Amino acid sequence: MQEFSVEMTVRDYECDLQGIVNNAVYQNYLEHARHLYLKTRDVDFVELTARGLHVMVIRAELDYLRSLRPGDAFRVSLYTERVSRLRMAFVQRIVLLADETPVMDARFVVAAVNEKGRPCFPEELERLLLP
């Protein structure tokens, strides 16, 4: 299942001394894809925050399957799923474009609180869930 995807290319400065993408950089790729996806769905974190709604990652699960190297072209895809009444997840995958080799599987669980710090599930998040 894929709801959204974006293609990217590894930049030299994202690699460590071993010549592979540093493990922390993968989270940047995944977050960039989530933010692009949210823009396509008209979800604006600045506007949500101005209204006193704060959406945050509360759990990150990352399975590293293969290393990326400088110049590798890859795709980050995602779909959403409900976790509970007040939580949802972005399920993501990174694959090499050349041959669709899986590079990473990830799952980010998010939750929201209102201006009083109470858990909530804004309508904007509700709209992101697949039927």
Catalytic residue among 12, 16, 63, 105: 16
Q: For residues 59-93, b (16+ Cβ closer than 10 Å) or e, as one string?
A: eeeeeeeebbeeebebbbbbbbeeeeeebbbbbbb
Looking at this protein, which amino acid is placed at residue 59?
R
Distance CA 90, CA 8 (A): 19
105 is a catalytic site residue: no
Distance CA 10, CA 113 (A): 35
Q: Which residues are catalytic?
A: 16
